[in-house]
Copies of this chain bind each other. A is one copy, B any other.
């Protein structure tokens, strides 16, 4: 098997449903950024500290779910043959919300913004949080051009909150205190 086909050397490529688009098309920005996020989650997993290994399975599950997001985003808006993976009764958002509630109960309450950092794992999770939000911005730009699967957007919105909660939980596991942003108003209620 040759993975390089040379067909993309002039800047165009295929999506699911076989439309041919410029690689700079907003749809490709969207799932390309999901792929970047997925790879970053791979980096987070590969660098989990001993005490953070409890997060390994759920992070791998998130990688699987990000691939599902990518598939749904790669389907042409005019394609009738392929069906979305994320559906109304998708359990992925509920699953994330439960994790967020769980971790939020295990970390010190805050009113002010905190510096994104702390232990190695926590800082990697904060970085994932912000790349998730970059992916979300790309998807929101796409949805202004063409219809998308709304459940993907919902999942990605919740995912950045998951990464925030997980980062804070991870600092607790590693015994590191979050540092407050000194000029923060009391923003969390």
| A interface list, Cβ under 8 A from B | 1-4, 6, 8-11, 22-24, 28-29, 32-33, 35-36, 38-43, 45-47, 60, 63-64, 67-68, 71, 85, 97, 100-101, 104, 109, 113, 115-120, 122-124, 126-127, 129-131, 133-134, 136-141, 143-144, 150, 153-154, 157-158, 161, 164-165, 179, 181-184, 188-189
Contacts and interface: CB of A to CB of B under 8 A. Distances in A.
Nearest to A85: B183
A31 to B, nearest CB: 10
Contacts of A183: 64, 67-68, 71, 85
B2 A39 contact: no
Given A23-B136, A42-B115, A47 B2 contact: no
A64 B115 contact: yes
Copies of this protein in the assembly total: 3
Task: Say whether chain A's binding surface is mostly helix, strand, loop, or mixed.
Answer: helix
A184 B67 contact: yes
A71 B11 CA distance: 20
A39 B1 contact: no
Which of A24, A35, A39, A120 has most chain B Cβ within 10 Å?
A: A39
A165 B8 CA distance: 17
Contact of A117 (B10, B45, B153, B154): B45
Given A4-B161, A130-B36, A183-B71, A41 B9 contact: no
A117 to B, nearest CB: 3
